[in-house]
Amino acid sequence: MKKTIGALMVAASAIALAANAEAMEYNPYAGVEYGYSFLNGAEDSNNFNSGKIFVGSQYNENFGVEAFYQRSTTDKKAGDKFSYQAYGIDALGYLPLGCEQKVALVGTAGLGYYDFAYKDMGERTDNEATWGYRLGAGAEYNVNDNIAVRALARYTKLDNRIDNSNDMMEYSIGARYNF
């Protein structure tokens, strides 16, 4: 009896997976973003401009995944230099609005690896790498079938950094090209 129930459950799962696979699409895209970010909690907050490239796929009108690489400009304060680079992966949820569904609300959740570089006036350098958990929200506008523009705000919780700036806010605007 247990074998029969197990076999039926496996068969039902396979049928459900096959039915769901037909509903899933593979819509690859690539894009760029400009970002403005700042670290919270430090005595003298660091502000960064950054550029990001990303590739991803939207699997249906409500779900997508993308991988990114981001590099900041150098923030200079009192002769000290501070910058970072990051890479990671985000899951994106879309909520299309309106009849034509050209506008969508976007939510993101992901994980990034951040490498911070610090150089003081005495030319002492220090690097610090940490993982960050990312959450974001924003909106996207589909200009046509191939081009979309978006604006996002992201909060990143960083794992225990030495200077106690354990979180970062980022605001970005960008565009993507759907293949």
- Whether residue 8 has pLDDT greater than 50: no
- Look at residue 18 in the predicted model and tell me its pLDDT: 46
**Residues 6 or more apart from 123 whose CB is under 8 A from it?**
none
The pLDDT > 70 percentage for the chain reads 78
User: Helix, strand or coil for residue 73?
Assistant: coil
Q: What is the mean pLDDT of the chain?
A: 84
- Whether residue 135 has pLDDT greater than 50: yes
pLDDT in tens, 163-179: 667 889 999 999 999 99
Averaged pLDDT, 40-69: 88
Distance CA 115, CA 111 (A): 13
- Whether residue 46 has pLDDT greater than 50: yes
Q: Where residue 127 falls among pLDDT bands split at 50, 70, 90? A: confident
Distance CA 121, CA 132 (A): 28
For residue 118, the cross-strand partners are: 82, 126
- Whether residue 43 has pLDDT greater than 70: no
Averaged pLDDT, 142-160: 93
Q: Where residue 138 falls among pLDDT bands split at 50, 70, 90? A: very high
Least trusted range by pLDDT, from 22-26, 34-38, 73-77, 137-141: 22-26
CB 172 within 8 A of CB 151: yes
Highest mean pLDDT among 32-46, 81-95, 160-174: 81-95
Number of H helices and number of E strands within the chain?
A: 1, 9
